[in-house]
Amino acid sequence: MNKILSKWFYPKINNKFLDDVKKIVDSNFVNEGPFSKKFEKKLALKCKRKYCAVTSSGSTALLTALLAIGVKKNDEVFIPGFSFIATANAIKIIGAKPVWIDIDVNTMCISHEDLLKKINKRKKIPKYLVTVEVNGYAPDYQKIISICNKFKIKFITDSAESLGSRYNKKPLGSYGAISALSFSPNKIITTGQGGAVLTDDKKLHKNILAIKYQGNHIRGDGGADTFYRMGLNFKLSDINCALGLSQVNSINKRLNNTQKNSKVFEKILGNKNIFFPKIHKGGKKLWIDCLINKKRFSFINFLKKKKIGFREFWLPMNKQKSMFSNINLKNVGLISKKGFWLVSNFDLSKEMIFKKFKSK
């Protein structure tokens, strides 16, 4: 029990994939193959997308998405200031420039109001937008879509933290021209490392495949192949995909357990000083989050004393040394200072939490 409560998060890996791994090893083909294709089909179905391509990580998924949609050096890309640094890194590594947008304090996602405000202040409007679906939350996509249509902005969703969550009865990962997923160890399912790029556009899917296959959208043998554009090797092996496949059917069960445990923590810890945000209808949190108004360090010491795992919210991306901008994003700064993710392991239960708080 101490391990379960003391570690903020660890993945839940079952043994169902062992037989599949044996099949893969016995076939003497451990690269991307039939298990990868099966995993892609499952993910496309889960996100209600037509096309899916798995990649070597969530970061390469987002990089692939940006390149596929046409982002180039010196292009400007609207991006919220609150996300894991990988979101901005994918933009910067291309040589493109982030245009920082504030967030909505209720969703912790991009503010359509600040987006419109920034658009109206600019003579030249950036052609691209990346939204981030933080911990299963979503921005107001009706407003986002309306703004993007009006100003001819192409948008990508960073859906790394949203697999299994929904917005307006649609799966997160289904919005935007392209969406990117992550399967790193702290996500709802893991392949060790890994990601996926999803779209409904056949031409974009062709671009995505070309980028992940060194510039050839048709997987060749590496010999006399024709390469249509610049690309890299972003493939994900069948062994990784077998691991992901073994967990896909557990997504809803895992998410429902997290929602229940969040309510237990709220019952025990919730007060005027500690607030547990409500997620939108149909939304599912991947991790248990809370905001604290005062006595932040006292709360940290309390969690450490009780040996309850936690992770503090990200620092504002635009204030990181690698991204530094003098722009002030009020809500990003506010949420960043107040937020915590509490222990969210899939092994956690209501009984364990109550028992922990009753102990000395």
Measuring CA to CA, which residue among 3, 1, 22, 2 is closest to residue 238? Answer: 22
Q: DSSP letters along 332-343, please?
A: HHHHHHHEEEE-
pLDDT digits (tens, 9 = 90+) for 282-297: 999 999 999 999 999 9
Domains and CATH numbers, the chain: 2-8+250-358 (3.90.1150.10), 18-248 (3.40.640.10)
Residue 358 predicted with pLDDT over 90: no
Residues 6+ apart with CB under 8 A from 9: 185, 186, 287, 309, 311, 341, 343, 344, 345
Count the Cβ atoms, other than its own, within 10 Å of residue 276.
18
DSSP-derived letter for residue 281 is T
CB 80 within 8 A of CB 335: no
The pLDDT tens digits of the residues spanning 11-32 come to 998 887 888 888 999 998 899 9
Residue 357: both structure tokens together: 């708080």
Confidence of residue 360 (pLDDT cuts 50, 70, 90): low
Per-residue model confidence as pLDDT tens digits over 119-170: 999 999 999 999 999 999 999 999 999 999 999 999 999 999 999 999 999 9
For the segment 202-217, the average pLDDT, to the nearest whole number, is: 94
- Look up the pTM and report it: 0.95
Q: Is the pLDDT of residue 220 over 80?
A: no
Region 46-61: mean pLDDT is 98
Secondary-structure breakdown of the chain: helix, strand, coil percentages, each rounded to the nearest 5: 40, 15, 45
Q: How far apart are CA 88 and CA 77, in angstroms?
A: 10
The secondary element (H helix, E strand) that includes residue 66 is: helix 58-69
pLDDT at 221 over 80: no
Backbone φ and ψ for 20, nearest 5 degrees, come out as: -70, -40
